[in-house]
Structure 1
Amino acid sequence: MPRLTGAQLHEEIIAVAARLFSEKGYAATSVQQVADEMGYSKSGLLHHFSSKQQLLAAVIREPLRKLDHLDKVAAQMPQGREREAFTTAALVEIVLEERAGIGVLLNEGVVPTDAFEERSEMAFLRQRLCNLFFPSPNLPFEAEVRINFAFAGLIDSVIRCGDIPVQEIRQPLLRAFRDSCGLVAPLPSFTEEEIRERLGFHG
């Protein structure tokens, strides 16, 4: 088996840490466990990431960037059915692509209150995305409950369906997420390619 380059090893550490943080919780996962999962030494891992908090920062950086970008792209669209359809479809696409990191990012209970400053940014970003679905400045409590329930259910379902091909779970996840949010009206559909093009994601 070819030896991993430094960049490849860096990405592999992030992927393993994201999965363990998502499955076990940040507090319950040690640097040693991440190293053991990779068959790597703890000292070697700490050469790439000097602390568990730095590793957490790396795990959530890309999901946070993509969700922030979605918020900005969708906010430029006029309110209406097309924006609602695009935002929900793109959110599901990003969650599928970044499933482990998103699990850590959106399930705030995984991250201890004092563990990392991005905790407040997680909640703020989720609220911004919520506002795209429900643009009213006075969000009804029931709507807030619905969308929190939908986010949690989406993350849990994606993680539990990890072995199922994305093509098989994309539409069921989107329908379930929209139903949980109370967004049940028929909407325009977007292909994976259309979503990635609008968001400017490549590869």
Structure 2
Amino acid sequence: MPRIESGDTRSRIIETARELFTTQTYRAASMRDIAERVGITKPSLYHHFRSKSEILASLVSPPIDQLEATIADAASRSSQAEIRQHVLGGCLDVILAHRETMTLLLRDASVYGDETTEVMSRMVAVVNRAIELLTGPDPDWRQRVRAAQAFAAATDPISHLADVPVDDLRAELLRGASAILDLEPIAASVRPQVP
């Protein structure tokens, strides 16, 4: 029997956890469920991850890192129109690239708990910063409302529309978010570079 490399086992654990968290919810999936599905013992699982929240952090940190980098890149743009285009298009590209993981964050309230505070706080900070950049300088409360609506319109439907092809979904989400902000529609073919 070939020896399984530790990195491979770790990757299988993360992928299995993603499947279980999305089908059962984060709270309902147990470490035992994950270990059994991967085909290892529970003590072996604890050799790779100390807790379920550590598995979740390993699962969601890469897309959150990419969202943070996308937001930082957008903030460096010279015009408000470019900033908005990069916030909406860039964040949407990251979320679509990590569709299952982001659906978990958007639809499963059980991922928000005491043991996941740090990683979930990062996600909340990303959303707040994106909305802040969409509002522009010196916004009034109406502009802040529109920015929050636009960001939600561009991201929230992803978790409900898994059957829609990515390019079609991206184009429609950008069209809707642009309309909310009263912008010229952002061309779906324009794709900000995702760091």
TM-score, with length taken from structure 1 = 0.75
In structure 1, the gaps of 5 or more residues are: none
State how 1:8-157 maps to structure 2 within 5 Å.
Answer: 8-105=8-105, 109-116=109-116, 117-138=118-139, 140=141, 143-144=144-145, 147=148, 150-151=151-152, 154-155=155-156, 157=157
State the Cα distance separating 1:5 from its structure 2 match.
Answer: 4.2
State the Cα distance separating 1:114 from its structure 2 match.
Answer: 1.0
Matched to 1:85, the amino acid is: Q
Secondary structure at the residue paired with 1:29? coil
Matches of 1:191 and 1:138 in 2, distance apart?
29
Matched to 2:187, the amino acid is: S
Matches of 1:35 and 1:65 in 2, distance apart?
27
% identity of equivalent residues = 24
Contact 2:178/2:185, CA 8 A, preserved across alignment: no
In structure 2, the gaps of 5 or more residues are: none
In terms of mean alpha carbon deviation, does 29-38 or 85-94 score higher?
Answer: 29-38
What root-mean-square deviation, in Å, do the aligned CA atoms of Structure 1 and Structure 2 show? 3.2
Distance 1:189 1:9, change over 3 A: farther
Matches of 1:4 and 1:161 in 2, distance apart?
36
Matched to 1:132, the amino acid is: L
Distance 1:81 1:146, change over 3 A: closer
Contact 1:14/1:58, CA 8 A, preserved across alignment: yes
Matches of 1:108 and 1:145 in 2, distance apart?
25
Distance 1:17 1:106, change over 3 A: same
Matched to 1:154, the amino acid is: T
State the Cα distance separating 1:89 from its structure 2 match.
Answer: 1.0
Q: Which runs of 4+ in 1 moved over 6 A?
A: none
2:187 corresponds in structure 1 to 189
Contact 1:14/1:55, CA 8 A, preserved across alignment: yes
TM-score, with length taken from structure 2 = 0.77
Contact 2:153/2:173, CA 8 A, preserved across alignment: no
State the Cα distance separating 1:175 from its structure 2 match.
Answer: 2.7
Number of equivalences: 193
